[in-house]
């Protein structure tokens, strides 16, 4: 299964798809990136005259790349003929720096545990300067649809 196959199996589409490419994926983790469009809908009101990417959107980007893409890869044999069903079960994220419109971010995820179709990962998000923007633990369930 290629990176493009994994991205095509994601249950998201524009404007809520936050994965541009996967640079590395294995049973132990994934690295991928996304560039936030300068005219994304959520910048219009967050914040007045000083737009930054909302933390919930950064968390979603981390979950899509770091959890869902990895989960699809882990279950690639079972998911080859069906679309995955995904449920985020928990997230705990600490934020350190803002992400501005037009910025490219890189997500690095390491599998902590994968058991009974539940995946728990340690995920970090870096900006273009390779500075740590946020990090945390994200868990979810994934199964064939």
Tokens 């005219």 belong to residue: 39
pTM for this model (two decimals): 0.94
Among the options 11, 42, 46, 88, which is catalytic?
46
Q: What is the pLDDT of residues 1-57, one digit of tens each?
A: 899 999 998 989 999 999 999 999 999 999 999 999 999 999 998 898 899 999 999
In total, how many domains does the chain have? 1
Residue-range definition of the domain harbouring residue 50: 3-144
Q: Return the CATH number at 8.
A: 3.10.129.10
Residue 46 annotated in active site: yes
Q: What angle do CA 129, 105, 135 make, to 5 degrees?
A: 90
Backbone φ and ψ of 74, nearest 5°: -65, -35
Q: Which residues pair with 134 in a beta bridge?
A: 95, 125
pLDDT band at 143 (very low <50, low <70, confident <90, very high): confident
């Amino acid at each position: 299964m290629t990176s493009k196959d994994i991205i095509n199996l994601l249950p998201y589409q524009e404007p809520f798809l936050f994965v541009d490419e996967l640079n590395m994926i294995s049973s132990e983790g994934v690295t991928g990136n996304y560039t936030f469009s300068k005219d994304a809908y959520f910048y219009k009101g967050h914040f007045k005259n000083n737009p930054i990417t909302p933390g919930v959107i950064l968390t979603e980007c981390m979950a899509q790349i770091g959890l869902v893409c990895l989960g699809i890869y882990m279950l690639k044999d079972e998911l080859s003929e069906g679309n995955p069903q995904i449920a985020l079960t928990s997230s705990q994220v600490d934020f350190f720096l803002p992400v501005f419109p037009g910025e490219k971010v890189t997500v690095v995820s390491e599998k902590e545990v994968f058991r009974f179709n539940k995946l728990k990962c340690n995920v970090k998000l870096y900006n273009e300067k390779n500075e740590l923007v946020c990090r945390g633990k994200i868990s979810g369930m994934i199964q064939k649809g």
